[in-house]
Amino acid sequence: GAGVSQSPSNKVTEKGKDVELRCDPISGHTALYWYRQSLGQGLEFLIYFQGNSAPDKSGLPSDRFSAERTGGSVSTLTIQRTQQEDSAVYLCASSLAGLADTGELFFGEGSRLTVL
């Protein structure tokens, strides 16, 4: 597609439920990133994919968080047993070849998660 697409744009869930957030990167972009943006917290790195592998998962806050990428394209971020502190905007970004060059990240508009 023309840009990075994320769905759902808004998700309200109850504490303890599982949620899945989807990211469809720009066609041809091999690198994909997930960030979390909490109110007043800036952007927090979660995970980075190069192709289907995730060489850097260092930002995942707990084992309730997981992500996968299939076919070198779409990625899904899964949060199990959601907690209220998981409420945030989850941003996905893609880039042509990671940041090995000076490539910029292209961001989607985010998925706003609210855990009641």
Partner 1 sequence: AQSVTQLGSHVSVSEGALVLLRCNYSSSVPPYLFWYVQYPNQGLQLLLKYTSAATLVKGINGFEAEFKKSETSVHLTKPSAHMSDAAEYFCAGRAAGNKLTFGGGTRVLVKP
- Which parts of this chain interact with partner 1 (CB under 8 A)? 4, 31, 33, 35, 40-43, 45, 48, 50, 55-56, 58-59, 91, 93, 98-100, 102, 104-110
In whole angstroms, how close is the CB of 11 to partner 1 at the nearest point?
16
50 or 87: whose CB is closer to partner 1?
50
18-38 core/surface letters (b: 16 or more CB in 10 A; e: else)? ebebebbbbeebbbbbbbbee
Q: How far is the CB of 16 from partner 1 (least distance, A)?
A: 29
Work out whether strand 111-115 and strand 10-13 pair parallel, antiparallel, or are unpaired.
parallel
Q: What is the C-alpha to C-alpha distance for residues 75 and 114, in angstroms, rounded to an integer?
A: 20
Nearer to partner 1, 100 or 116 (CB): 100
